[in-house]
Amino acid sequence: MRLDYPPNVKIVRVPCTGKVDLLHILKAFEAGVDGVYVAGCLEGECHFLSGNLRAKKRVGHVQGILAALGINPARLQMYNLSAAMGGRFVEIAQEMTERVRALGPSPIRTGKGKEFVEEEQEEEGK
Amino acid sequence: MIVAEAKPIEEILAMIDRYDKIILAGCKECAAVCAAGGEKEVGVLASTITLARKRDGRAIEIREVTLERQCDPEYVEGIRGFAGDYQAILSIACGVGVQYMAEHYKNIPALPGLNTFFMGGSLEQGVWSERCQGCGTCILHLTGGICPVTRCAKSLFNGPCGGSSDGKCEVNKEIECGWQLIIDRLKALGEFEARYTELFPIKDWSTSRDGGQRTIVREDLKQ
């Protein structure tokens, strides 16, 4: 296929997204990355049955932590795709790169304080 | 086990706001089993606090420790060697652990990172439920192994009350009526006639919290 994806995306390989821990994600943010996404297998197609579903819950939990800290939870996303979906992989890498670029540098790196207020998000939801 | 839950992060951050060098102490007993204050949660909370500080451009040094137990002097003393180098101890053990830290390290503030709730057990992974209130006079042999002190919102000994409806408690329709459970269980055991027809005498609550702080002494073990 020889598809290109943005060079800013650094891949951390895990045997299954079920292996992804809260701390893996938190430590990445601590290290100063601007965004993280977890790419798991399609729902219902996990070789270990529920690894990707566990990852989804953990991503949700960390999004909650980020929101509580005033960091935009959109900096963290979960995607589901199969190993045969190279084109989709590139799309996701581009989509996430654009999203994070629009949000700007992480406040954890800049030290400029909160960038996100949880209440506003809730009101939008209503 | 004693079941506790993490305090909201905002509350913890406000608590430690004036400190730049803290010990974050977990406990490998109950708090670890209820996924609130074990080694894992120490790591996650330390990282969360670090993120919050970095967000504001402020540094913080966190010493992560997880003690075997925070309710035993010998383990609490385990951090003696370096405790004096830190400004505060944020304990994510139960309330006992926080108080033991305060008692042992008199010059260092001990701060609670958890809200301690109850003595209970797990129903399934990630779900815990209260079972015992430590009233000091167990009567489970008379109530089919179901505790009316805990399971009845009024801690009635001659229940149910008029608030019991369809097996649920009037306090909350999600909560089962403890006395309905007791009656069903006594019937299943064939003990209903023998047990339920007898009135419980008035309970002496002096063995419970009403008698003030309680202490148990085993003379044969005491040194």
pLDDT tens-place string over residues B140-180: 999 999 999 999 999 999 999 999 999 999 999 999 999 99
Task: Tell whether the model's pLDDT for residue B17 goes beyond 90.
Answer: yes
pLDDT band at A118 (very low <50, low <70, confident <90, very high): confident
Question: Quick one: pLDDT at residue A90?
Answer: 97
Question: Quick one: pLDDT at residue A125?
Answer: 47
Q: How far is B55 from chain A (nearest CA, A)?
A: 4
Task: Look over chain A and give the mean of its residue pLDDT values, rounded to a whole number.
Answer: 93
Mean pLDDT computed over B4-11 = 97
Token pair for B78: 């385990």
Question: Quick one: pLDDT at residue B33?
Answer: 97
Question: Quick one: pLDDT at residue A121?
Answer: 52
ipTM for this prediction: 0.90
Query: Smallest Cβ distance to B55: which of A23, A27, A108?
Result: A108
CA neighbours closer than 13 Å in the CB half-sphere of residue A20: 29
Strands of A7-62 (E only): list them: 36-40
Dist CA B80 CA B82 (whole Å): 6
Determine whether the interchain pair A112/B8 forms a contact, defined as Cβ–Cβ distance below 8 Å: no
Tens of pLDDT, residue by residue over A40-83, are: 999 999 999 999 999 999 999 999 999 999 999 999 999 999 99
pTM, full prediction: 0.93
Token pair for B138: 């167990």
Determine whether the interchain pair A68/B43 forms a contact, defined as Cβ–Cβ distance below 8 Å: no
Task: Tell whether the model's pLDDT for residue B24 goes beyond 50.
Answer: yes
Query: Smallest Cβ distance to B56: which of A23, A29, A113?
Result: A113
